[in-house]
Structures are given as structure tokens and as C-alpha cells.
Amino acid sequence: MTWEREQTQTAAVSETAAVFVGRVRLRSQDQRSLDAKASIAGHENEGENTMTNWMELEQKYYFHIINRMPLVIVRGQDSRVWDEDGKQYLDFVAGWAVLTLGHCSPIVVEALKEQAEKLILCSNQFYNIPQLELVQMLVENSCLDKAFLSNSGAEANEGAIKLARKYGKVHLNGAYEVITTLKSFHGRTLAMVAATGKPAYQESFKPLPAGFINVEYNNIEALKTATTDRTCAIMLEPVQGEGGVNVPDLDYLKQVRAWCDERGILLIFDEVQTGVGRLGTLWGYQQFGVEPDIMTVAKGLGSGVPIGAFLGKEKTAVFTPGDHGSTYGGNALMSAVGKAVLSHVLEKDIPGHVAKIGAYMTSKLEELNAKDPRIIEVRGRGLLQAIEFDREMSDAVVRNCLSKGLLLNAVKPTAIRFMPPLTIGEAEVDEAIAILSRALDETTVEAPEAQTGP
């Protein structure tokens, strides 16, 4: 039983949710497996292997943009998912740090059901209440003053860059360049590929949009050297997620803040992955005692539904009507879910829970580190953590864990990322560590040859 389910039932969020949670708690794992098998019965094709068919279907019709793991997920609940054969998996990927409250949380389900019966979408030519309630909650629980809702993290980052460029045009003599860092990740749109400091992502799409400078992360001198009269902003992740869960030195972000203040430029924090409690505080910037001028959020705000936002301090409010907009951004349905998720995170002190469980997970990973010399580092904050190997073995370990019922992410060839739902408890951590330990014991990858000379 997860900590979150106990909290949800005790609080009796709603009569429907309480009944749902009680029903789920009474189910045995065997019954869950039977339910999963029944749920896909209608998709079976005259006894053929359904998984193989779905994989063939993907190969035939879907652009090949990712090398998927050999798993077709058909159902999820809390920190668990089930495949088409009813096998259960503990999910420490959580949609790439999206599922704040776990799979199919009653909070999300009830918000969707209730709002879908009232209003799903209206044009932003008109007011809708869930949108305004959500932006009010975001602003009142952050250091920012204004907000705009989008559909994703990439869109939120695009909006933040537009806002910074408009600020540069109005206040900085037309400055338009944004400095970002190597090993960062800001999205898949063309501009955000240019912002993302990963040359391998950029090469196929050159020439890239101008105006982005990528420098070394956690290096204040590199930022200072790259800053010119054309610079309007610096954009960073408080902790780099996709880059390998890279935590900066404690004074780095303070130095960046001071430099931005000295030069009169904006500081943008991309909190798409670190926000909404993921690091053990509501926002990642709170870990480092630094306030941004602009912040972007997404992923965990919807706990499974597509939503994003960018927020800014009053001085950044330079947009005028027509400068920005969105057909679906801030629609009533997604806004109602975002409000429900954020309300729950605040009311139940999910960040406080994450801080405790994150510390527990760190201690268990450190125990693995002590007994396996191939692990050379444990790093991260809260429930965004990683282990680094001395060799390229992460894919082999992740696949071994998959076969044993644990989902993890090989964030790079030498590192595994952990980003479970924020509602897990110590029991789920213990289960994950036990599976990972067995997988490590069974994974043999040769160490790289030592360099003997130039």
C-alpha cells in the first residue's frame, strides 16, 4: 500500500474517490492480474500474440523516433502498471517524471470526470474559471506574479523565450540571445533543440534558429564569458534531468542570480522536471535560495494530462495582446486537473513526503554503491536521482530490471535515472532496490580499457 493511498482514503477527498480507493485496497495482486487480462480481452486477435501485433503495428505506422522497451502497458494504478498478459511492474519512470500522484490517481480521475460534464474547452477569447483558479494558485504559491498556461513543457519554454526576447527588445536595446548550458534539455521544437545543449540532438536539424549560446553547466565563468550586449537571459534547469540528474554546486545558482542582476538580464528556470515537489520542495529554486525572473513548469502539474505554464515576475510582463496565445492552452479540462493536483500536493505536503522518501532512497542507493564497485556515484534530490557506472552498462541493467518487474530509465549509457511517482513509500523503494540489486548481480559488462598514453 502506498503512502499516498493511505492519505487519500483518510482524507476522504470525495465519496466516489474513497469508494474507489477502498475497492482497490481490497484487491489482491492476483485479482489485479486477472483484471488486466480481462481489460485487453477485446483487443485479442483470434489467439495471436497481442504484444507482437502492437509492436508490428508501431513499426508499420509510427515514425521511428524512439527505441522502445519490449513492453505494452495496458493498465496502471498508483506506482504499478500491468502488461497485456497481466504481469505487474513497479514503475520508477512515471512517464518521465510526470505522474506526481501515480497512475490513474482518484484526484485526477475525479477532476476529469467532474469538469468534462461541465465545460471542456472554450476559446481564450472568453474567460474560463478553472484556468484563472489555477494561475492564481500557481502565482500565490511561488515567487512569480503572472502566468500563462500551455499544453507542454516545450510550449512553456517557447513562451518563456518569447517573453525574454520581448523584454530584451523593450528594456535591453533589442538584446535577444539566451545562454543555456550543455547537457540541458528544454524540449523538441526547433527553437528548443537550439536551446538544448546537446550537439547530437542538434546536428540533424541545422541550420538552427539563431540566438542560443550553449556553455558548460555549473561553470559561472563560462556564463560570464558568453554574456554580451546581445544577451537578454540565461536559462537553466536547477537540476539537469535528461542530462543525467546533474546537481550544481550549492553556490552556482546564487552566482548566476548575482550575474544576471549585475548585467540587468533575466534568469529563467526550466522547472518542467524539477517542479511540483519532485526535488522535495514545491519548486526546485527553493532548494538553492534563488528566485528566477521567469519559471516554466509542466510534467508533474498535470500528473498525466498535458499541461504546462510559464510564470514571470511583474517586471517581465511586457506582452501585449497578440504577442502570444494558444488554442488549447489553459482549457477548462486540463486546468481543472492541474488545480486538483496542485491543491492536493499543497494540502498533503507532498514535497515534505518526497524529502523524507528521497533521503531514504538515497541511503539505499548508497548501500548498493558500497557493495558494487561499478557504481561510482549516487546523485540527485528528492525523487529525482541517478546512479553513475564506471562503464556503459545502464541499458543492460534496465532491461534486466524490466524482466524482473521494475521499470527504470537509462538516461545515458553510464547512468540510470529514478523518477517514481511522488506518492511511493519505503516499501516501494525497498522493492525497487531489491530488484535492482539482483539485476546488477546478473549483469556483466566489461570495463573500459585503461588509457596507457596519448
- 212 belongs to the catalytic site: no
> Chain centroid to CA 42: how far?
33
Q: 290, 295, 420, 302: which is closest to 354 by C-alpha? A: 420
Select which of 183, 270, 364, 412 is catalytic: 270
**Longest CA span, the chain:** 70
Q: Which three cell numbers stand for residue 356?
A: 523524507
Q: How far is CA 370 from CA 232, 367, 377, in A?
A: 45, 5, 10
* Three-state SS at 109: helix
Active site residue 371: no
CA distances from 393 to 131, 375, 387, 431, 444 (A): 45, 10, 11, 21, 8
Which contacts qualify for 129-133: CB closer than 8 Å, 24 or more apart?
Answer: 129/332, 130/332, 130/333, 130/335, 130/336, 130/339, 131/330, 131/331, 131/332, 131/335, 133/335, 133/339
The distance of Cα 383 from the centroid of its chain, to the nearest Å, equals 11
Q: Pick the catalytic residue: 20, 92, 185, 269?
A: 185
Helix H or strand E segment including 200: helix 199-202
Of 37, 166, 183, 299, the active-site residue reads 299
The x, y and z cell numbers of residue 208, run together, are 538552427
Q: CA–CA distance from 28 to each of 54, 205, 321 (Å)?
A: 28, 50, 55
Contacts of 349 (CB under 8 A, 6+ apart): none
C-alpha cell at 37: 487480462
> How far is residue 388's CA from residue 447's CA, in Å, rounded to a whole number?
14
Q: Is 37 an active-site residue?
A: no
Which active-site residues does the annotation give? 185, 270, 299
